[in-house]
Amino acid sequence: MTDPLIPPPKKDPLKRSLSPTQPPAVRSRAALGLTAAAAEGRFALQTCVDCGTVQYPPRDACCSCLSTDLPWRDTDPSGTLLAETTVRTSVNPYFRERTPWRMGSVHLDAGPVVICHVHGDVTPRARVRLRLMLDRAGQGVMIALPPERTDHMSDDPELRAMSSDPRLRRILITDARHPFAPTLARALLDAGATAIFAGEPETWLPNPNRAALADLGADLLPLDVTDTKSVERLAGEIGGKTDILINTARFLRPGGVLARGGTAVARDEMEVNYLGLMRLAQAFGPAMCSRTADGTNSAVAWVNLLSVHAIVNEPAYGCYNASQAAAYGLSQSLRAEFRTAGLRVMNVFSGPMEEDWYQPLPPPKVTAQALARSVVSGLQDGLEDVWCGDVAHDFRDRFRQNPKVLEIELAQEGGA
């Protein structure tokens, strides 16, 4: 059984934090298919279109019939642990600091043999299910888990090294005024977060979430993402103990380009949605990146809540979606910049939410509970891309079928 994590003692400020190191990060192009599947929590392997052979390790040609048509398909993750070892010495600095490290060889029911990480609760030579996850190099790796959930399973050191689990972590929600902030804070606390900081802009104005957040024990702190000084001030105060940052700040108004009659609103949207993210990243990013190997409550993830229409615009909210596209673009740059530190950028894409600014739209809409669930489970599974709600899933599938067709469909819906 996994030993439950114990809350870490208060940090000794004189002690040096471990510098972040990385597991091996280089992959062939084919192997990146594994990473792409891991980024959204799928278990997929290459499958030969011509003969059906499931391939692993990733290849450029089928090992059975030499076909070069090897798409990634969702695959049954169950198998049997053939052999295992505990690595006690490694020449790689990342693993050297983390030995003993259990790994093994699993024969998948689907055919291939996989060398993988092995969870501490797996019984020798037993049945296992594999999960595909991102490691701290941001690359897809497989870990063998027991077939059924076990107690404190997520506290296993190997699983914890790959997830962004909120348990025993301190989390900043950047805008306490977001209508879903209290529900999100509660879900994070239920998942074991030890502290919630909630940024509050314009503290002199009433905040309908203030009482609810205070009741949960959240720390309300002044933060205006449009004000560089304000962001820097808060980063100076809590940047060194922010383990997960969830950017809920957003400026949302309906309307496309012609409905606006000017650029003032668009300017506000960019100030909050794009430049706000940039300010937060510049102020909090370096401190978080330096603390990704800092023990149980290391810095682990950066979460952006984005409209799914950041990817292809939906014209009824055309200008807002354009600012979301800018934020999405920035998130990809951040992901690359945080990569060597192992700080994960998780984008949660959702459709319209159950709230005032989306009031005229028909259902289905994303509820506060659904969003909170997506954020928490995404962090627990260590994902990079999370699709929250039916609209987002439908959008993702249509986008993957044909992005241009989706653009035309959205234009027709918006113009109708």
Partner 1 sequence: MSRRQSYDGVVLAAPVTVPYVRYSTETAHWWIARALRETLRTADLAPQDLDGFSVASFTLFPDTPVGLTQHLGLSPRWLDSIPMGGASGVVALRRAARAVQAGDADIVACVAGDANHIDSFRRLLSSFSRFAMDAGYPYGFGGPNANFALLTDRYMQEYGATREDFGRICVAQRANALRNPNALMKKPLTLDQYLAARPIADPIALFDCVMPCAGSEAFLVMREDEAVRRSLPFARIRSTIERHNAHGGDPIQLRGGWTVDIDEFWDMAACGPDDIDLLQTYDDYPVISAMQIEDLGFCEKGAARDFIRAHDLTIDGDFPHNTSGGQLSAGQAGAAGGFIGLVEALRQVTGTAGPTQVPMARRAAVAGFGMINYDRGLCSAAAIIEGEGP
Region of 82-90, 209-217, 236-244, 354-362 interacting with partner 1 (CB under 8 A): 82-90
23 binds partner 1 (CB under 8 A): yes
Contact 166, 193 (CB under 8 A): yes
Using the rule CB under 8 A, which residue among 94, 284, 338, 395 binds partner 1?
94
- What's the gap between Cα 253 and its chain centre? 26
Using the rule CB under 8 A, which residue among 11, 17, 27, 393 binds partner 1?
27
Question: Interface residues for partner 1 in 43-72 (CB under 8 A)?
Answer: 56-58, 63
Contact 108, 171 (CB under 8 A): no
Q: What's the burial of 364, exposed, middle or buried (CB within 10 Å: 0-12/13-18/19+)? A: middle
Distance between CA 297 and CA 242 in Å, rounded? 9
Q: How many CA atoms lie within 13 A of 309 on its CB side?
A: 22
Region of 5-13, 135-143, 240-248, 321-329 interacting with partner 1 (CB under 8 A): 135-143
125 binds partner 1 (CB under 8 A): yes
Distance between CA 42 and CA 44 in Å, rounded? 6
Q: How far is the CB of 75 from partner 1 (least distance, A)?
A: 15
Q: How far is the CB of 384 from partner 1 (least distance, A)?
A: 17
Distance between CA 238 and CA 2 in Å, rounded? 31
DSSP run (H or E) holding 143 = strand 140-145
Q: How far is the CB of 218 from partner 1 (least distance, A)?
A: 38
83 binds partner 1 (CB under 8 A): yes
76 binds partner 1 (CB under 8 A): no
- The DSSP output letter for 74 is E
91 binds partner 1 (CB under 8 A): yes
Q: How far is the CB of 89 from partner 1 (least distance, A)?
A: 5
4 binds partner 1 (CB under 8 A): no
Closest CA relative to residue 235, chosen from 300, 177, 174, 292: 174
DSSP run (H or E) holding 332 = helix 318-338
Using the rule CB under 8 A, which residue among 1, 14, 26, 258 binds partner 1?
26
Distance between CA 158 and CA 119 in Å, rounded? 7
Instruction: Pick the closer one to partner 1 by CB: 109 or 151.
Output: 109
Distance between CA 161 and CA 101 in Å, rounded? 11
Instruction: Pick the closer one to partner 1 by CB: 59 or 233.
Output: 59
Using the rule CB under 8 A, which residue among 41, 44, 77, 117 binds partner 1?
117
Using the rule CB under 8 A, which residue among 141, 213, 218, 252 binds partner 1?
141
Region of 20-28, 251-259, 270-278, 391-399 interacting with partner 1 (CB under 8 A): 20-28
In sequence order, what E strands does 201-307 have?
A: 219-222, 244-247, 301-307
Q: How far is the CB of 23 from partner 1 (least distance, A)?
A: 6
Q: 122-129: which pairs have CB atoms within 8 A and are 24 or more residues apart?
A: 122/81, 122/146, 123/81, 124/81, 124/84, 125/80, 125/81, 125/82, 126/80, 126/81, 127/78, 127/79, 127/80, 127/81, 128/78, 128/79, 128/80, 128/81, 129/77, 129/78, 129/79
138 binds partner 1 (CB under 8 A): no
- Work out the end-to-end distance of the chain between its first and last CA atoms, rounded to an integer number of angstroms: 58
Instruction: Pick the closer one to partner 1 by CB: 116 or 391.
Output: 116
Instruction: Pick the closer one to partner 1 by CB: 112 or 364.
Output: 112
Per-residue interface string for the shown chain with partner 1, residues 261-300, x marking contact by CB under 8 A = ----------------------------------------
Distance between CA 184 and CA 349 in Å, rounded? 15
By CB under 8 A, name the binding residues for partner 1.
Answer: 23-24, 26-28, 30-31, 34, 56-58, 63, 82-92, 94-95, 101-105, 107, 113-117, 125, 135, 137, 139, 141
